[in-house]
Each structure stands twice: as C-alpha cells, then as structure tokens.
Structure 1
C-alpha cells in the first residue's frame, strides 16, 4: 500500500476531473489498498464534486491553502515566505540531523506537511514551465519538485504540456525541477522538443497522451438523459461552443463580438442551433464560464436558437452534449479533448502551444487559430471547411483515437515500475 498525493489539479476543471478520476482508477488497479489524496485550493467544492460524481471514488481532499496570518495580503505573503524559508531549513535539519535521534520539526505550510506524509506525488498540472504563465508559477513547481526530492519522495509529472519558454528564469526553474523528478510524461511533440532544448540529465522521459483520452465515454442511456433534460431535438443541427473566460479577460469585448457574429452567422446562414456550455463553473471564484457565456448570449441576435446552459455539468455530461453536435467551437482545452474523444471535430481558438500539440496528434492543427490574432474570417473559413469535410474528418479522428486511448495504462505501467 502506498499513499499518493495528486497536485496541480482541481476537479472544478472538467478536464482535471477526467484526469483525476482516471488516475484514481488506474492507481487502485495497482493495489486496491492504495490511498489517494488531492491537494486542493478549493476543498469544499472539490469534495462536493467527488461526492456527486461517484460513490466508488474514495479521494481525500486536503487543503493547500496557507492560513491568513495577517489581514494585509502583502504582509501575509511576506509571512508565508518566511514560513517557507523556515520549512526549507526544517527539511534539511530533519533529514540530516534530527532523523538520527528519531525527532522531527513540524512544518508550517500545508503543502509541505502533505508532501511529507505521502509516498508518491502525481502532478497533474496540465501545463507547466510555459511562457504563458508568470515566473512565480515556474518557481512554485521547481520548489515542489526539489522538496519532494530532498524528502525522498517519488514524483511523477503526469501527462501534460511542458514549455515552451524563452525566459531564462523559467528555463532555469524547469531544469532544476525536472532533473530531480522520478518520471516526466510529455503529451505532445512540442513538449518533447522543449525538454530536448533544456538538455536535462534526467533520462526518464516518455510520451504519454492526455489521460482524458482514456476516460470512458458516457453510455447511450446517459446521453438520452441529457438530451431529455435539455429537450434536444434529433432532427435539428447542433454546434457546441465552449468558450474560455480567460480569453475575455485578455481580449475584452472585441473577441466576444467576433464570436457572437460567428454564432449568428452559423444560425442564419447554416441553419444551426447553438449550445453554449460552461466548461468551468465556480460560484465563489473568478473563473466561471457562465459569466462570459451570458455576455456572448446577450450580444447575439438569434437568441431563440441558442441554448445557454447554466448548470455545473460533469465531464461526461458535457461529452453527451458534444455527441449530438456536427462540430464544436472550443477555447477550453479539455472541451477540445472531449470533442475528439467522442469523435466530433473541434475548431479551436487557443491561447497556448498545448492546443496545437494535441491537434497535431490527429493531424488537425490547421483547425487551430490563435486568439490574439484571429479574425471572424479565420473562424468562418474553418467552419466552412469542417462542414464540407465533416464525414471525412470524423473518420480521420476515429483512425487516430485508438493510439491514444491506452494513455492511462501506459501511465500505470510507468508508476508501477518506478515506485
């Protein structure tokens, strides 16, 4: 029996939900007595999702949040930094000196305490050491990897996009961290190229596709329940739109107006009904796709032909909705992955290389546009192409999918052979 700690993920994200549950399933296949915990920044929400999702999933949710020491957030950050330094010194003292006397200094920061009590860390970050994130993110991951190494813990970078970055500090953090982990599982060619450029000493690197490709699709009965719930008519043509709140934060109203215009054109000229799906929902947080979907909905002229879903759907409930569509328009990464998984062609408005490297696996990278410089014409040209080649493209996805659906089995073998 081993204690596994999952980090870097919250089941608030439907992609992370699929990856966490698939990881749980495979780790329990290794040994049904294994204990699995999830390090969470939103424990209350994650517990509620896990309890609703399946009674057979027994994941302990642990808070990674440091307590507020003072009211001022800047002073609080300073106090947390002091505690980090104190805990790092404690780790060294515990490992070098106090272990000989069967003594140990207790750690102040929650994430260090939880790392100390586990045997193995499964990092499901999705993306790390990328130019699209700030330096503090790279520093955090490097710190966690080095702490695990000093404590003698196994550390697996689960299937994810890594890099790229031209920032010297991010690359320095990547080298320091990744050279000290047990195994690295890049999920695409761009990540592999970045790792090669780092010239890592760590030889334990293996391509493993995204774990969500292994997460089972919903059954026909589950599909019918969703279609009945939302009164979907099989005689109508549907397109799903899974927009990303971050793109509104970065791109503002211009990108919303562009997308609204595209939706109106699909309805007026192509005869489609559009389903707006909130991929990430959080009543208490800043990341809630219902907010941006409401703005898009209000900008559209043809509201009667738009289903704006406000519910917090589970990963497979979203896949049921995608199944009834001719194609999808995605800026949510795992909306794209889910679309591919159920054999529906995604047109992708992306913000990072991770979108390209997954679509590259299916030779569909030409259906990805960068949100920062795309136009209405760019998206509508891809819509016209997908409509005219839809059957051919779906067959294309089905030919490639069997190569990637065993991703979690590959991950399980790597963990088994290295724990």
Structure 2
C-alpha cells in the first residue's frame, strides 16, 4: 500500500492582498514564482487583515489565517512557546490550532516585512520579533525576503537584531546600505537581493481592469503625464517639523497642470471602507485632491485597485514622483523616470541598483521650490535616466527572482528529507 506525500507548504507573514499594494505585489510575486518551481505547493498567509484578504483571495492554493497584532503577539506566540517546551502537547496543538498546524507543516516561513529591525522604528520591534518567533519555536526555517534592516545604533534595536537575526535561515538584503549594516552586525546568513516586487509580472488583463473604473483616454493626448504617490508616513514626518504636506503636494500638482501637464494621483496603499490611515493613503490623497486649484487635468485613483493594475497605470505615466516605496518599485519596473521623496535608506539603496540614487532626497528637504527644481532636472536628464533604467532593469529583476530559487531549495531539501 502506497501513501501520498503531503503537498509542500510555505507560510508567509508581513504581506497582504489588501491595503498596501506593495505588500500585495510581494505576496503575489512569491506565489507566482514559487508555484512555478514547486509543483503542488500550498501557501498560508498569516494576515493582519484576515477578512479583507479573504475577500480578495483568488488563489486556490492560498489559505489565510488570522494574525492580527493581538492574535499574533499573544495567542500564536503563546501556543508556539507551549509547543516548544511541552512536547507531549504537540499533536494536540497541531490539530487544534490552525496557526501552529500551518507553521509545523510548512517547510519555510517567508517574512515579507519591507523594513524590520531599524533604528527609529522601535515601536514596531515587538511585531518584528513576534512575526518570526513562532516559526523559530516550532523549528520551521525563517527566510526573510528582500527587505531593509538597520542601522543598529539604538541599543534596544541592536540587542533584538543580534538576538534574532542570526537565527533566521536567510536574510535577503534589499540593497548595498542594508547589506553593509547587516555585515557590520556580524551576520553571515545574508544574500544580496532585490525587492520581490520586481518579479511581479502583468498578465495582459490590467488595461481592461483599469478601463472598468477610469477613462483611459486621459493618457491618450499629447500632454505629458506625471504620476505622484503621496504617503501618510512621509506626511507625519513632514508635519512633525511644522510644514504643510498636503499644501506642498497640492501646490506641486497645480504647478504641473498650470504648465500643461496632466497628473495622476495614486494612493498606493488603500484600505477600503475605513478612514484609518495605517496602510491607507486614500484619505490623504482625498485631502490633496480637494485642495487643488484646478482638477480638470488630474486623474484621481480614488479606490483600491490590484497591484498589477496600479503598475500598469504607473507605466502609462511619462514621469513619476514617489513617496510610497513600492510605488517607486513599480515605476522603476516600468522604466518610468522617477523622483523619490523618502524617509529611510531603503529608497536610496534601490535607486543605486539603477545608478539613479541622485534622484532621491529626504523629507527634510521637501519644499515647493526644491521639489520643482529637482523635477525639472529629472526632465532635463530624461534620456540618460531612461538608458540607465533600460540597462539595469534586467539585472535587478534577475536578482529579485533569485530568491525564489533559494526558497525552493529549502522546500525541496525539507520534503526530500521527509520522504
């Protein structure tokens, strides 16, 4: 009598289908690339927004488990600790807890947090630890997909990073600066990669999807189209120094339309049906749109779209001004000359891969005159910028998809040993 081996399983945390479309792009890229490499593989997403993610889940191979902060930090971590210290409870925990059962049966946990263990983000440190600790306690390898970490000057962050990062199987660094921070911490479990969202492919349905919501004739004129993606994270940092972020972005858009250009206003992170601003740029973009002096030259993407549809629309722009990290990734992936207003090294190190790091500046420099000056400089340098995008993009994409091969090797090694 023969028995059928269980399907290989991969657990995922830190990404989502709903809300932040960068997280969606990472999740969907991993499902696509790993399904190609591991026949029959199933995925379990530990979701911060389980109801919203289930409503948007079109993948038969993807299961979704409630991992909202309290559920993850208290319930799942406590059960994982019991699993670790009380071996006689393990069969019961695997059968009674979907979370523990999923972790124990998975060959690897993918942590797709975009930025973790970073100075200045200590309020997220507990979540960074709670995301990977249950897998470590049930002895499921942790693979940290391409992300930014460091610097580690803060004593609390440095202690946590030294305690937990060496225990993960692989940490994929998302650029030179992160890699140097990780090496300075003494980590050796590193792979120099590129963001997983660079692996996201369009399937040809995006134009029809966009046209169902918006008149795409907006793009079919001789006018130059400028895309812009504001960010509530950047807004908080700008307003903390007393500036009016909404007024500054609205002023830039008005300057663009006054010059005869058209503007597409992109909220790249949207949570439908709520005014909460965590992972939700829509309320901010609505305020910016309402502040405009003229709106007839502006297309406001005023609803949640898929990551692929957003990437398609971004690709229709002639230039892009990004503050959301994965909006920047999409514009680079679509070879659109991009100006970046950021708040961390994570922007600069990705632009470095394209030899375009001069086109990023920090939120502390955001003033109307400086923003217009840098945009005009980008326009003047367009041909050089486009050539650098064209020549570097294939290498960046190959570096991104290389992590799928690393993950597949872990899964295949584990299933082979189990067999």
Q: TM-score range by the shorter chain?
A: 0.7 to 0.9
CA deviation profile, 1:165-218 (whole Å, cap 9, x unmatched): 311111111121111111111110111011011113xx3311111111121145
Decide whether aligned partners of structure 1 residues 112 and 194 sit closer, same or farther in structure 2, where only a CA change above 3 A counts.
farther
Once residues 366 and 262 of structure 2 are traced to their aligned partners in structure 1, the CA distance between those partners, rounded to angstroms, is: 23
Task: Give, in whole Å, the separation in 2 of the partners of 1:45 and 1:86.
Answer: 25
**1:5 and 1:36 in contact (8 A); partners too:** yes
Out of 10, 13, 16, the position equivalent to 2:20 is: 13
- 1:406 is aligned to 398
**Structure 1 residue 226 corresponds to structure 2 residue 210:** yes
Query: Unaligned 5+ residue runs, structure 2?
Result: 1-6, 412-419
Counterpart check, 1:240 vs 2:243: no
> 1:23 — aligned with what?
30
Contact 1:148 1:154 survives alignment (8 Å): yes
User: What corresponds to 2:103 in structure 1?
Assistant: 115
Distance 1:147 1:224, change over 3 A: closer
Q: How far off is 1:114 after superposition?
A: 4.2
Report the equivalent of 1:278. 267
Distance 1:321 1:88 in 2: 43
- In the alignment, the residues of structure 2 paired with residue 67 and residue 402 of structure 1 have an alpha-carbon distance, to the nearest angstrom, of 41
Residue 65 to residue 117, structure 1, CA distance change in 2 (3 Å): farther
CA contact (8 A) 2:41 2:61 kept: no
d(CA) in 2 for partners of 1:43 and 1:86? 20
| Alignment deviations for residues 337-360 of structure 1 (CA, whole Å, 9 cap, x no partner) | 000011101111111111111111
The equivalent of 1:59 in structure 2 is 62
RMSD value, Cα: 2.7
Distance 2:130 2:208 in 1: 47
SS state of the match for residue 271, structure 1?
Answer: coil
The alignment status of 1:249 with 2:226, answered yes or no, reads no
- Structure 1 234/223 Cα, relative in aligned 2: closer, same or farther at 3 Å? farther
Between the two proteins, the alignment pairs up a number of residues equal to 395
Q: Offset of 1:14 from its aligned partner?
A: 1.2
In 2 relative to 1, CA 160–298 (structure 1 residues): closer, same or farther, beyond 3 Å? same
| Residue pair 1:213, 1:404 contacting (<8 A) in 2 also | yes
Instruction: Tell me the distance in 2 between the aligned counterparts of 1:106 and 1:47.
Output: 22
Cα 1:151–1:295 shift into 2, 3 Å: same
2:105 is the counterpart of 1:126: no
1:261 pairs, out of 227, 251, 256, with: 251
Deviations 1:365-387 (A, max 9, x none): 11112113322222111111111
Tell me, yes or no, if structure 1 residue 293 matches structure 2 residue 293. no
Tell me, what secondary structure is at the counterpart of 1:396? Answer: helix
Name the CA shift for 1:316/1:105 in 2 (closer, same or farther; >3 Å): closer
In structure 2, C-alpha distance between the alignment counterparts of 1:160 and 1:67, rounded to whole Å: 24
Q: Distance in 2 between matches of 1:132 and 1:394?
A: 34
TM-score, normalisation: structure 2: 0.86
| Of 338-347 and 389-398, the range deviating more from structure 2 | 389-398
1:367 equivalent in structure 2: 359
Distance in 2 between residues matched to 1:108 and 1:169, nearest whole Å:
35
SS of 1:274 mapped into structure 2: strand
8 Å Cα contact 2:109/2:143 also seen in 1: yes
Task: Give the TM-score, by structure 1 length.
Answer: 0.86
**1:329·1:346 contact (CA, 8 Å) conserved in 2?**
yes
Counterpart residue number, 2:415: none
CA distance in 2, matches of 1:246, 1:190: 21
Where does residue 71 of structure 1 map in the other structure? none
Assess, with a 3 A threshold, how the Cα gap between structure 1 residues 395 and 104 changes in structure 2: closer, same or farther.
same
Unpaired stretches in structure 1, ≥5 consecutive residues: 69-76
Distance 1:255 1:32, change over 3 A: same
Looking at structure 2, the residues matched to 195 and 123 of structure 1 have their Cα atoms a distance apart, in angstroms, of: 17
Output the CA distance in 2 between the equivalents of 1:120 and 1:146.
13
Instruction: Write out per-residue CA displacement over residues 148-180 of structure 1, whole angstroms, 9 at most, x where no aligned residue.
Output: 233221110011111223111111111211111
Is the CA contact 2:81–2:137 (under 8 Å) kept in the aligned structure 1?
A: no
The 3-state SS of whatever aligns with 1:311 is coil
Report deviation, 1:245: 2.0
Give the secondary structure class of the aligned counterpart of 2:379.
helix
Q: Which residue of 1 aligns with 2:153?
A: 166
Deviations 1:281-320 (A, max 9, x none): 1123433222111111122212221122212111121122
Asked if 1 retains the 8 angstrom alpha-carbon contact of 2:77 and 2:130, the reply is no
**Secondary structure of the corresponding residue to residue 402 of structure 1:** helix
Conservation of the 8 A alpha-carbon contact between 2:268 and 2:327:
yes
